[in-house]
């Protein structure tokens, strides 16, 4: 469904999304990195429904995920960095700062 634009020579970084290495443009967001793979960044606490990034501008909170061990991060607002660890957030939000 989603794909990157043709290569423009921009730098790339390697991040880990749910344990799998993904190479993404250095200017991309964590939410964009998730969209290049399975696309799911969290599940809902009541039904377990899978959610994907939606608005990509920080308004909807559908892209909440754990980034480098910090839960409840809005992936669309976080620029990727080399070695970043992005994990799907399952169910209920953890308290901020909880691992």
Q: Give the position of tokens 């909170």.
A: 61
The first and second tokens of residue 21, run together, are: 């290495």
Whether the per-residue pLDDT at 37 is higher than 90: the answer is no
- Domains in the chain (CATH in brackets) are 12-87 (3.10.20.30)
Whether the per-residue pLDDT at 1 is higher than 60: the answer is no
Per DSSP (E only), the strands in 2-99 are 12-17, 20-25, 42-43, 50-51, 64-67, 70-74, 85-87
Predicted pLDDT of residue 87 = 94
> How confident is residue 74, by pLDDT bands cut at 50, 70 and 90?
very high
Predicted pLDDT of residue 36 = 87
Whether the per-residue pLDDT at 96 is higher than 80: the answer is no
**pLDDT tens digits for range 4-35:** 666 666 799 999 999 999 999 999 999 999 99
The pTM for the full model equals 0.81
């Amino acid at each position: 469904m989603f794909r990157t634009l043709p290569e423009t020579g921009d730098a790339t970084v390697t991040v880990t999304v749910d344990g799998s290495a993904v190479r993404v443009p250095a200017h991309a967001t964590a939410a964009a990195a998730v969209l290049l793979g399975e696309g799911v960044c969290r599940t809902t606490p009541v039904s377990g429904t899978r959610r994907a990034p939606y608005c990509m501008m920080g308004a909807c909170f559908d892209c909440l995920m754990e980034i480098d061990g910090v839960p409840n991060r809005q992936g669309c607002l976080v620029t990727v960095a080399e070695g970043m660890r992005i994990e799907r957030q399952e169910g209920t939000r953890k308290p901020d700062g909880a691992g």
